Structure 1
Amino acid sequence: MRVVFMGTPDIAATCLKKILADGFEVVGVYTQPDRPKGRGMKLVASPVKEVALRVNIPVFQPENFREEETVEALRALKPDICAVVAYGRILPQKVLDVPPLGCINIHASLLPKYRGSAPYQWAVLDGLTESGVTAMYLTREMDAGDIIDVAKTPIGENETAGELLDRLAVLGANLLSKTLGRFQTEGKLPGTAQDASQVSYAPMLDKTMCPIDWSKTAWQVHNQVRGLHPWPVATMVLQGKTFKVHDTRVTEGTGKPGEILGLTKTGLRIACGEGAVEITSLQAEGGKRMAAPDYFRGHPLEA
């Protein structure tokens, strides 16, 4: 079975490595064009491209599929199936129609919940206790295709979005390999239509979401910190300085929202609209990430 893989970031690279290790015939890899990065703005290859080049798989990096020759290049690979993971492009129907077994996608949520570009982050922001990955058929509408299979995992109460993604990458890689294996032995697999009444969306994160509103409950603040990590990272203003807040724990305590309740051996306690949180790790502007007690040992709080 000839597989064309399409993906760009680390989660996709993890999936590509898995299906290569499991012996699937990957005849071509599509990924986003190299992008300028860092202070020198040098062009940097995607994690997926790096994996493909190491094993000498042909790499294709079209900006889009508008040109007929771009679609012809895909047809020339004669894929039986396309496996898509966080490619970063919505594929037109003429691409979806190329492989006879269809185009399948691994999405980092339990669809139909959290369609869109930031599914696992919103699962954490919303305080969910369970997430997972979905194998589905791709359609022209974003994340709306029939579901082939799912794999579920609990979300830890202190787990960040970044930590969850690391686990979902492995879960997704295993699900992709399992699903491709079923296609290889069973042919075209049945799918289940998504329940339209259960659809929700997970829009891109941005920095307007960062400032902490201390009038919210302790759990809402804690979920904000977890869900916005490692990007764009929750922030707070303390004694005129802006800090990135990297890590919190929900704790006991009462006071006016935003009131400092005390500095302990483990962190800085701040009152919320309901309950309190303890900030265990933060970062001052222009500084590095530090354990909160260590920072305030060198920068004592004003009385």
Structure 2
Amino acid sequence: MSTTVPDMPLRIAFFGTPAFAVPTLDALLASSHEVVGVVTQPDRPRGRGQQVSDAPVKERAVVAGVPILQPTRLKDPVFLDAFRAWNADLGVVAAYGRLLPQVLLDIPPRGLLNVHASLLPAWRGASPIQRAVLNGDAVSGVTIMRVVLALDAGAMLARVEVPVSPDDTSGSLEARLAVAGASLLRDVVDRIGRGESVEEVPQDDAAATLAPRLEKQEGLIDWTRSAWSLDCHVRGMQPWPSAFTYVDGQRLVVREARADDTPAGDVPPGGLVRVDGDAALLACGDGRCLRVSRVQPEGKRAMTTREWLQGRRAAEPLRAGMAP
């Protein structure tokens, strides 16, 4: 006679801050487990007006009526005492944004699990999604890993692959990875709650690649690179910090662009080869072109490249470059 192992609901403390983490929090809130509290980053100025507002995870926790902690120091005894009072069995981390100290990792008896947006050991670090798009990866994914002191180096409990479309920006890929990660995490937590054995596979540290946090200046376009790498660059920098170049001494954000097989001929990198419909074909370092279809001049709205060219009053031929 077969028997089923009854579910043992877990008391879960959730760590997360941006929109990527919200589907995972929602999956846990909808499960048989209890989210006993949420730890999220302190409120910061956001948006164009730099008004202080709640991050997406805090907004969701407030609506759900879940206790919230926003420590400035994770080793603060007041925070640690408040965290202990939740009596969490397990911690779940999804894009919290800070490394967790050992004193915190030691509190939940079942430790902490992380929803990491890459196929570890590839792209350990703060910007795995952006680095995957920038690198032209054909496949990305999510790994559920054990949180340890070393950066994203813990044992892996589950992984799922997610294909990267040639049209994907970092923003569109993030949205799909967030959903995939939420489903994968809930499955792992449910298995733990049922008392099932979940294999933890060590990572191959020798195969690790790093995904450091993006800096604003990384958006600058180097026109000596190949058309395909610049295609990846524009998509990888969306929605932040955005790819940009300089024309006529002014900063110009490139919102949409694709690699094009049109030969650049003798036109130097960054130079205009021709206008084609609403797009401009600009020469790249490999002798091919980047089809730039949508741009945003500094201080103005986004527009088609043709619109921008029509409003450009300059005697000099168009030449995009890396300096004002």
Task: Give the TM-score normalised by the residue count of structure 1.
Answer: 0.95
Q: CA deviation at 1:66?
A: 1.6
Q: Give 1:281's aligned residue.
A: 294
Is structure 2 residue 268 aligned with structure 1 residue 260?
Answer: no
| 1:292 maps to which of 296, 305, 311 | 305
SS in 2 for 1:186: coil
Q: CA deviation at 1:23?
A: 3.7
| 1:89 maps to which of 88, 98, 104 | 98
Answer whether contact 2:75 2:103 (CA < 8 A) is retained.
no
Shift of the 213–42 alpha-carbon distance from structure 1 to 2, 3 Å rule, reads closer
Answer whether contact 1:64 1:89 (CA < 8 A) is retained.
no
Q: Give 1:72's aligned residue.
A: 81
Distance 2:259 2:199 in 1: 44
Shift of the 188–92 alpha-carbon distance from structure 1 to 2, 3 Å rule, reads farther
Q: CA deviation at 1:200?
A: 0.8
Structure 2: give runs of 5+ residues left out of the alignment: 1-9, 318-324
Q: CA deviation at 1:31?
A: 0.6
SS in 1 for 2:26: helix
SS in 1 for 2:21: helix
Distance 2:198 2:78 in 1: 30
Q: CA deviation at 1:162?
A: 1.2
Distance 1:237 1:37 in 2: 26
Q: CA deviation at 1:297?
A: 3.4
Shift of the 37–254 alpha-carbon distance from structure 1 to 2, 3 Å rule, reads closer
Alignment of 1:202-241 (within 5 A): 202-241=211-250
| 1:15 maps to which of 21, 24, 46 | 24
Residues 115-164 of structure 1 deviation map (CA, whole Å, 9 limit, x = unaligned): 11011101111111110111000001110100000111111112111111
Task: Give the TM-score normalised by the residue count of structure 2.
Answer: 0.89
One-letter identity of the residue aligned with 2:208: V
Answer whether contact 2:283 2:289 (CA < 8 A) is retained.
yes
Alignment of 1:63-212 (within 5 A): 63-186=72-195, 189-212=198-221
Residues 148-183 of structure 1 deviation map (CA, whole Å, 9 limit, x = unaligned): 001111111121111111111111111111111111
Residues 176-203 of structure 1 deviation map (CA, whole Å, 9 limit, x = unaligned): 1111111111356321110011011011
Distance 1:60 1:225 in 2: 37
Answer whether contact 1:217 1:273 (CA < 8 A) is retained.
yes
One-letter identity of the residue aligned with 2:45: P
Distance 1:250 1:180 in 2: 42
Distance 1:188 1:46 in 2: 35
RMSD: 1.7
Q: CA deviation at 1:249?
A: 1.0
Residue identity (%): 38
Structure 1: give runs of 5+ residues left out of the alignment: none
One-letter identity of the residue aligned with 2:301: K
Shift of the 284–9 alpha-carbon distance from structure 1 to 2, 3 Å rule, reads same
Distance 1:187 1:104 in 2: 16
Distance 1:158 1:236 in 2: 21
Is structure 2 residue 254 aligned with structure 1 residue 245?
Answer: yes
Answer whether contact 1:9 1:86 (CA < 8 A) is retained.
yes
Distance 2:88 2:219 in 1: 43
Q: CA deviation at 1:257?
A: 1.6
